[in-house]
């Protein structure tokens, strides 16, 4: 049975306890689009830093296929329309990056640039001194190949749960702010269409987590 946690401080305590037995922790943080993964990870990292623990995030979003790569798909129109679905990510490159994190070498990774709508290479650098890496994204806990191989490389899988109404409002505002949608109606249609389709996939295909998080 998973551990249920509803306070950032309790998550920090859990990390500190696990870190006592390891030199580096790799923690996958999964959840549906808009669940609050990035925000939660930022809060835990800040809390860990107050305790003298060096932590960093590796977002899955940096491993979107570039637009020029999507143009080479068998059905480019569908690839662009579904951008954000599992098959529109370079899962192989993502997994290779996590594997190098486990080896303890300095790792450079991309970060998604919303203004350019493409990844920006080398924007994240994780040095050997980093003690905890949060591997954050919608699909980091999937049972599907090749995503499932992450389970053997990481120490724990956290799953964030949030009510659907809150997730929906966050996504609508995110699409408007980032420019993904040019109008409120377009943002609503994207949220209730592609985003909900991806959310259902996450809920139906994610492995049983070690920790379930519900923070209001």
Per-residue model confidence as pLDDT tens digits over 6-18 = 999 999 999 999 9
Does residue 193 register a pLDDT over 80? no
**Contacts of residue 205, Cβ cutoff 8 Å, sequence gap at least 6:** 142, 143, 144
Does residue 93 register a pLDDT over 90? yes
Confidence of residue 27 (pLDDT cuts 50, 70, 90): very high
What value does the mean pLDDT take over residues 57-70? 97
Residue-level pLDDT at 44: 98
Does residue 216 register a pLDDT over 70? no
What value does the mean pLDDT take over residues 189-197? 81
Q: Which residue has the tokens 């379930």?
A: 212
Residue-level pLDDT at 120: 95
CB burial string 61-90: b at 16+ within 10 A, e below = bbbbbeeeebeeeeeeeebeebbbbbebbb
| Better pLDDT: 185 or 193 | 185
DSSP annotation string for 115-151: TTTEEEEEEEEE-TT--EEEEESTTTTBSSTTGGGHH
Does residue 174 register a pLDDT over 80? no
State both tokens at 71.
């143009």
What mean pLDDT value characterizes the chain?
Answer: 92
Residue-level pLDDT at 58: 98
Does residue 28 register a pLDDT over 80? yes
């Amino acid at each position: 049975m998973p551990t249920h946690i509803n306070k950032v401080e309790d998550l920090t305590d859990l990390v500190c306890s696990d870190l006592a037995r390891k030199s580096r922790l790799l923690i996958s943080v999964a959840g549906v689009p808009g669940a609050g993964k990035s925000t939660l990870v930022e809060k835990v990292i800040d809390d860990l830093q107050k305790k003298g623990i060096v932590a960093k995030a590796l977002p899955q979003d940096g491993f979107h296929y570039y637009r020029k790569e999507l143009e080479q798909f068998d059905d480019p129109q569908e690839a662009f329309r579904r951008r954000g679905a599992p098959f529109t990510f370079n899962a192989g490159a993502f997994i290779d990056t996590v594997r190098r994190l486990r080896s303890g070498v300095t790792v450079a990774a991309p970060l998604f640039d919303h203004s350019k709508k493409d990844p920006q290479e080398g924007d994240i650098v994780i040095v050997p001194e980093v003690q905890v890496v949060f591997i954050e994204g919608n699909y980091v806990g999937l049972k599907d190949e090749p995503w499932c191989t992450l389970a053997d490389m990481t120490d724990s899988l956290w799953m964030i749960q949030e009510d659907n109404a809150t997730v929906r409002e966050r996504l609508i505002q995110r699409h408007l702010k980032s420019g993904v949608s040019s109008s409120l109606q377009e943002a609503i249609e994207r949220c209730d269409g592609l985003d909900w389709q991806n959310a259902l996939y996450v809920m139906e295909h994610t492995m049983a987590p070690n920790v379930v998080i519900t923070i209001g």
